[in-house]
Amino acid sequence: MTGSSRPSAAAGLPEFPDARPRRRLAGGRGGAPLPLLLPALIALVFLLLPLLALLIRAPWRSLPSQLTSSAVWQALRLSLQTATTATVVSLLFGVPLAWLLARTTFPGRKLVRALVTLPLVLPPVVGGVALLLALGRNGVVGRWLDSAFGITLPFTTSGVVVAETFVAMPFLVITVEGTLRAADARYEEAAATLGASRFTAFRRVTLPMIAPGVAAGAVLAWARALGEFGATITFAGSFPGRTQTMPLAVYLALQDDPAAAIALSLVLLAVSVAVLAGLRERWTAAA
Amino acid sequence: MTRLDNAGPSPAAGVSDGLDAHLVLDRGAFRLDVRLTVAPGEVLALLGPNGAGKTTSLRTLAGLTPLTDGHLRLDGRTLEEPALRRRVPTEDRPVGVIFQDYLLFPHLTALDNVAFGPRCHGVPKADARARAAELLARMGLTDHAGVKPRRLSGGQAQRVALARALATGPRLLLLDEPLAALDARARLDVRAELRRHLAAFEAVAVLVTHDPLDAMVLADRLVVIEHGRVVQEGTPAEIARRPRTDYIARLVGLNLYQGEADGHAVTLGHGVTVTTTERLTGPAFVAFPPSAVTLSPDRPDSSARNAWRAAITGLESHGDQIRVALTGLADGMPLTADLTAVSVAELGLHEGAQVWATVKAAQTHAYPA
C-alpha cells in the first residue's frame, strides 16, 4: 500500500500523521476524475483558507502580551467552565432522554425525537429569544422561578450554561441515541435473566458498552457549547467575567482591537484542534 | 432426599415441584400453544424446525416475551397467568438462560460475568466473586477468570455462559441452541461436558435445539414442536423408533407413512399396501430405514411383498453411502434408500431412471397412529 504513489492532491492535505492509506482521495485504480477532483479542491481551499489567513495575519510579535492579559484568561476560563458544566448537564439529562427514545415506545415518540433535534437547526439567536420568553424574568417559567425561589437566570453565568446546554444537548442526545440503537438490546435481556432491574442493566451493562458513543457525544456537545454565540449573547448578554465567553470576547474585540480578536481566535482554534485530535483517538479506539 | 428436605416449609412441595406450563401466545399469523411439565432433575429438549416456536417458548419461560394466555408455574409458584393478570418480571424469576450466542458482557471479565448475577441479587462483591471463581474452577476455567469474552474460544465462552447462568442458583435453566455457535470439533467436547453438567443439575432444565443428535444426547425427554404446537413427546428412544410426523422421520432418518392397518397389511394413503410383521387394526404408521430398501432394475421375485416401481429424483452422498430419493410411479409416494456407491454404479442409477424398490416386511415397523 505504502509503495503506490500518493496523488498530488492528497499531498497538500493537512492530514494527521497517523492517517491510514485507505483514507487517500484516490484508490489504487488511477486518479480521481476531474469533475470530482476540481470541486473537491475548491472546497478544500475554501475550508482551509480562513484558518490559514488567521495564522498568516496573527500578530505573532505582540501575541505573548495579548495572551497574558487577564481579560483573555478570564474569558477563556469562563468559556471552559460554562462549556464543561453544560456538557455535564447534557450528560445527566440527555443520556436518559436518548435511552427513552431508543429503548421505549410511547405515543408521539417520533414527534418528540423531531422536537429534540429542533435546536440543531434552529438559529441560536432564536433559541436565545425563546429562552428569554421561557426563563426570563417575565418568562413563562422564569417569573415563577423568580417569585418562588428568587432565581434569575438571564444575564448570569448560570444563564450562559442554560443557553449552551440548550444548543449543545441535542448533539449528545442524537449521538447517544444512535449508539444505543446500534447496541444489541439482548444484552439487557441477558442482564434481566440474571436478576438485574432495567436500571441496573442500563448502569452496569448498557452504559459501559455505549461508553465510546457517549464520549463522542459529550465531546461534540462540549465543542458546540464552547463556540456558542447567538443564544448566549441573547439570553445572557456580554458582561466581562460573568457572561462574556470567548466567542463573545472575540466579536467585541474585533470592533476596537482586531489584534486581540485574532489572538483570542487563535486560542479557540488551538483548543478546537486539541479536541479534534482527542476525538479522532476516541473514534479510532471505538472502531 | 434428606429428612430436612421432606420437612420443607413449602406445602406445595412434592406435588407441584418442577415446571408446569401452558404457553399460549397469539401473534396474529403465529399462535403458540404448548404444554410442558418437567420434573426437577429432568432435562427436556424442545425440538422442532426453524420458526416452529421453540425459541419463543424459551423466551416466554424466561419472561422475556409475555404470554397472552395459559399459565406458567415453577415449584408451585405462579410466575405468569394472564387470566389473573399475574406476571413476575424476568429479573424476579429464578431462571438462568444460556443464549445461543451466549451474550457474555464484553466489557467484563469472565469472572465478573459470572459474578454479575449474584451481585444483582445483593450478594456482597467479595462473596459474589468467590462464588464465581468456584464455579469457573468447576468448569475448568480458573486460568481464564481474568479474560474478557472476546479472547475466549467458543467452548470456553459456552462454559462461562453456563457458569453465569448457574451462579444465581436457578430453579429453571433454559438453553437456546447451546451448541449451535460451535464448530464441529468443539461441539463434540462441549456436548459431552454439557451433558455432565446437565445431569448434575438438580432443578428443571429446558433446552431448545433443531439438532436431533444434541437433543437425544442431552435430554431425558423430547417435545417436538411444529407450527407452535406439540406434535410428539417421549423419550429419545421412543421418538427415534416411532416418529409421528414427516419432520421427525426425516430427523431420525426413517421413511414414514400413515395408513389404515388391517392385520399384517397397512394400506397407505397413496393406495399402496405394505406388509408388516406387526398385527394392527385402525389408523397406523409404518416406518422403515432407508437401508431396508433394495433397488433393482427388474421386478424382484415374489418373496419380497412390498415392491414399487419408482423414479429416482435425487442422489446425494450420505456418509459412506449414497442416499437415493425416489418417487413412486403409480402413486407419487416419496421414498429414500441408502445404497453403497458400488451398487449405484452397478445399477447405473441416475436421476430420472426407473427402478423397482423393495422393502422386506421384517424391516418395517408399524404402530398405531
The answer on pLDDT for A124 being more than 80 is yes
**pLDDT value of residue B251:** 84
Name the closest residue on chain A to residue B117, using Cα atoms: A194
Tell me whether residues A186 and B89 touch, CB distance under 8 A.
no
**pLDDT value of residue A161:** 96
The answer on pLDDT for A223 being more than 80 is yes
Domain edge (last residue) among B246, B276, B306: B246
A61 inside domain: no
**pLDDT value of residue A28:** 56
pLDDT in tens, A200-215: 999 999 999 999 899 9
Q: What is the DSSP letter of B90?
A: G
Residues of B in contact with A203 (CB under 8 A): none
- CATH number of the domain encompassing residue B134: 3.40.50.300
Q: Which triple of cell numbers denotes residue B127?
A: 462473596
On whether both B27 and B145 belong to a single domain, the answer is yes
pLDDT in tens, B312-355: 998 988 888 899 999 888 778 888 999 998 888 888 888 888 99
Closest by CA position to B54, among listed B234, B273, B266, B210 = B210
On whether both B174 and B303 belong to a single domain, the answer is no
Helix (H, G, I), strand (E, B) or coil at B206: strand
| Confidence category of residue A98, pLDDT binned at 50, 70, 90 | very high
Tell me whether residues B103 and A187 touch, CB distance under 8 A.
yes
Q: Which triple of cell numbers denotes residue B288?
A: 422403515
Mutate: best of B107, B114, B174, partner A, most A CBs <10 A: B107
Which letter, b or e, does each residue of B185-211 get, where b requires 16 or more Cβ atoms within 10 Å of its Cβ?
A: ebbeebbebbeebbeebebbbbbbbbb
A272 inside domain: yes
Please compute, for residue B348, the number of CA atoms within 13 A of its CA located in the half-sphere on the CB side. Answer: 3
Mutate: best of A184, A186, A187, A194, partner B, most B CBs <10 A: A194
Closest by CA position to B74, among listed B37, B41, B29 = B37
Choose the closest CB to A209 out of B95, B99, B106: B106
Tell me whether residues A191 and B99 touch, CB distance under 8 A.
no
* Whole-number Cα distances in Å, A82 to A57, A95, A209: 29, 19, 28
Each residue's pLDDT, cut to its tens digit, for chain B (369 residues) gives: 333 333 334 444 445 789 999 999 998 889 999 999 999 999 999 999 888 999 999 999 999 999 999 999 999 999 999 999 999 999 999 999 999 999 999 999 999 999 999 999 999 999 999 999 999 999 999 999 999 999 999 889 999 999 999 999 999 999 999 888 888 888 888 888 899 999 999 999 999 998 888 888 899 999 999 999 999 999 998 998 899 988 889 888 889 988 888 888 888 876 678 888 888 888 999 999 998 898 988 887 765 568 888 999 989 888 888 999 998 887 788 889 999 988 888 888 888 889 998 888 888 888 988
Closest by CA position to B333, among listed B258, B261, B240 = B258
On whether both B287 and B152 belong to a single domain, the answer is no
Residues of A in contact with B97 (CB under 8 A): 190, 193
On whether both B241 and B192 belong to a single domain, the answer is yes
| Confidence category of residue A168, pLDDT binned at 50, 70, 90 | very high
Mutate: best of B113, B120, B162, B175, partner A, most A CBs <10 A: B120
Closest by CA position to B64, among listed A101, A100, A201, A110 = A201
What is the spatial order of strands in the sheet that B273-288 belongs to? B255-268, B273-288, B365-368
Choose the closest CB to B107 out of A184, A195, A209: A209
Report how many domains make up chain B: 2
**pLDDT value of residue B108:** 95
On whether both B158 and B268 belong to a single domain, the answer is no
Tell me whether residues B105 and A190 touch, CB distance under 8 A.
yes
A64 inside domain: no
Tell me whether residues B121 and A195 touch, CB distance under 8 A.
yes
A267 inside domain: yes
Sequence-distant (6+) residues with CB within 8 A of B6 are: none
On whether both B21 and B107 belong to a single domain, the answer is yes
The minimum CA-CA distance between B120 and chain A, rounded to whole Å, is: 5
Q: Mean pLDDT across chain A, nearest whole number?
A: 85
Domain edge (last residue) among B246, B273, B300: B246
Tell me whether residues B168 and A186 touch, CB distance under 8 A.
no
Question: Mean pLDDT across the stretch A254-277?
Answer: 85
**pLDDT value of residue B302:** 60
Residues of A in contact with B206 (CB under 8 A): none
- CATH number of the domain encompassing residue B361: 2.40.50.100
A74 inside domain: yes
A1 inside domain: no
**pLDDT value of residue A234:** 94
- A10 close to B (CB below 8 A): no
**pLDDT value of residue A285:** 54
Name the closest residue on chain A to residue B106, using Cα atoms: A209
Q: How far apart are CA B16 and CA B28, in angstroms?
A: 33
On whether both B226 and B342 belong to a single domain, the answer is no
Burial zone of A129 (CB within 10 Å; 0-12 exposed, 13-18 middle, 19+ buried): middle
Q: Which triple of cell numbers denotes residue B55?
A: 425459541
- A184 close to B (CB below 8 A): yes
**pLDDT value of residue A191:** 96
3-state secondary structure B102-117: CCCCCCCCHHHHHHHH
Domain edge (last residue) among B212, B246, B280: B246
Q: How far apart are CA A247 and CA A268, in angstroms?
A: 8
The DSSP-derived string for B317-331 is EETTEEEEEEEETTT
Mutate: best of B60, B64, B87, B90, partner A, most A CBs <10 A: B90
- CATH number of the domain encompassing residue A139: 1.10.3720.10
Report how many domains make up chain A: 1
**pLDDT value of residue A8:** 41
A22 inside domain: no
Closest by CA position to A9, among listed A33, A52, A56 = A33
The DSSP-derived string for B273-294 is EEEEEEEEEEEEEEEE-GGGEE
Q: Which triple of cell numbers denotes residue B302?
A: 415374489
The answer on pLDDT for A16 being more than 60 is no
**pLDDT above 90 covers what percent of chain A?**
49
- A195 close to B (CB below 8 A): yes
| Confidence category of residue A9, pLDDT binned at 50, 70, 90 | very low
Interface of A with B in 197-226 (CB under 8 A): 197, 200, 204-205, 208-209
On whether both B104 and B48 belong to a single domain, the answer is yes
Which domain does B37 fall in, by range? 3-246
On whether both B282 and B321 belong to a single domain, the answer is yes
Tell me whether residues B105 and A191 touch, CB distance under 8 A.
yes
A3 inside domain: no
Is the ipTM here above 0.90? no
Choose the closest CB to A189 out of B64, B164, B165: B64
| Confidence category of residue A29, pLDDT binned at 50, 70, 90 | low
Mutate: best of B105, B148, B164, B175, partner A, most A CBs <10 A: B105
The answer on pLDDT for A11 being more than 50 is no
Tell me whether residues A193 and B90 touch, CB distance under 8 A.
yes
Which domain does A88 fall in, by range? 70-286
On whether both B269 and B226 belong to a single domain, the answer is no
The minimum CA-CA distance between B114 and chain A, rounded to whole Å, is: 10
Between A18 and B342, name the one with better pLDDT.
Answer: B342
Choose the closest CB to A208 out of B62, B107, B165: B107
pLDDT in tens, A39-62: 999 999 999 999 999 888 888 888
| Confidence category of residue A189, pLDDT binned at 50, 70, 90 | very high
